[in-house]
């Protein structure tokens, strides 16, 4: 049951930030696909709910070949999924969005709301971190930008401070001879992933690994970089045995938990398999 609250609907970003600073017991809603669930379960009962979903200043997709991709916080998952410029330059984002929940959720849920909710099983974060994304947050006094991987602190916890909201996600322009791949393991296509793995690979002129990022989803309290496996692959050429070894490291360097969906042991095994597959897929796409 959702308890009574005062609904705040600002007319602009400036007004939203001022309202958020003014009210202490306040939660931001930007689609409500996560917030309304926890409110209905009685986990939180804010006195005020600040609705920023309709603020057009934060609803945009912009791409520049030098600067890269910028996505406003209130941009819906469906807008990302259907964007031609994203499909052309960051196809892994479109592939990820197509398997994020249902069409109904994607039509209303937003990228900013998803990231701010900080569910370790969420789809966008591992992919965006693999793409070396940054996130910009701000309050009435100013803004700050940080690597997205530094944004998450613990289960459902971020670095957002009092009065701050998510404003924008920035993804660098794709490098030459680079590609990324993502897959989650779930029983129903529209479900959140039991575990997931994202990999991005950049090759040099000789086909050797110039840069690589491996990020696991639902393998701990936050999206998890597998830096030991990344170091293993740098400077190496295509080798499926190396991919298998990287997958083994991924299965070791994670913190999955057992629950009704899968045991810790099973999660570790699947993470190893997915990591091997995503590295192979991304590497082959980068070569091609």
Question: What digits encode the pLDDT tens for the residues 219-256?
Answer: 999 999 999 999 999 999 999 999 999 999 999 999 99
Reported CATH class of domain 178-287: alpha beta
Dihedral angle, C-alpha 265, 271, 273, 278, nearest 10 °: 180
Kindly indicate the confidence band of residue 6, based on its pLDDT and cuts at 50, 70 and 90. Answer: very high
Q: What percent of the chain has pLDDT over 90?
A: 97
Please state which architecture CATH assigns to domain 56-171: 2-Layer Sandwich (3.30)
At 124-176, the pLDDT tens digits run 999 999 999 999 999 999 999 999 999 999 999 999 999 999 999 999 999 99
Does pTM surpass 0.95?
yes
pLDDT score for 188: 83
Write out the two tokens for 162.
């009092």
Average model confidence (pLDDT) across the chain: 97
Do β-strands 61-64 and 48-51 pair in parallel, antiparallel, or remain unpaired? unpaired
Residue labelled with tokens 């609907």: 9
Asked if pLDDT for residue 190 goes beyond 90, the answer is no
What distances in angstroms separate CA 60 from CA 155, 168, 236, 270, one per listed residue?
Answer: 28, 9, 39, 36
Could you state, in order of their start, the residue ranges of all structural domains in the chain? 6-51, 56-171, 178-287
6-51 fold: 3.30.43
């Amino acid at each position: 049951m959702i308890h009574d609250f005062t609904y705040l609907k600002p007319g602009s970003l400036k007004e939203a930030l001022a309202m958020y600073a003014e009210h202490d017991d306040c939660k931001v809603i930007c689609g409500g696909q996560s917030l309304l669930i926890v409110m209905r379960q009685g986990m939180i009962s804010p006195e005020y709910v600040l609705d920023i979903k309709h603020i057009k200043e934060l609803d945009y997709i912009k791409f520049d070949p030098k600067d890269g991709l910028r996505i406003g916080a209130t941009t819906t998952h469906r807008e990302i999924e259907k964007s031609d410029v994203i499909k052309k330059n960051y196809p892994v984002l479109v592939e990820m969005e197509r398997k994020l929940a249902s069409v109904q959720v994607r039509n209303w849920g937003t990228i900013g709301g998803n990231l701010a909710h900080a569910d370790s099983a969420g789809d966008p974060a591992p992919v965006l971190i693999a793409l070396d994304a940054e996130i910009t947050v701000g309050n009435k006094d100013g803004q700050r930008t940080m690597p997205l991987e530094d944004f998450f602190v613990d289960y459902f916890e971020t670095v957002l401070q009092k009065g701050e909201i998510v404003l924008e996600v920035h993804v660098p322009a794709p490098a030459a001879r680079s590609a990324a791949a993502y897959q989650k393991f779930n029983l129903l296509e529209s479900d959140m992933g039991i575990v997931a793995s994202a990999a991005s690979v950049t090759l040099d002129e000789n086909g050797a690994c110039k840069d690589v990022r491996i990020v696991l989803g639902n393998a701990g309290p936050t999206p998890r970089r597998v830096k030991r496996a990344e170091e293993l692959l740098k400077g190496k050429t295509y080798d499926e045995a190396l991919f298998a070894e990287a997958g083994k490291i991924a299965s070791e360097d994670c913190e999955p938990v057992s629950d009704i969906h899968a045991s810790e042991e099973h999660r570790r095994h699947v993470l190893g398999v997915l990591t091997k597959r995503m590295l192979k897929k991304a590497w082959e796409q980068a070569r091609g």
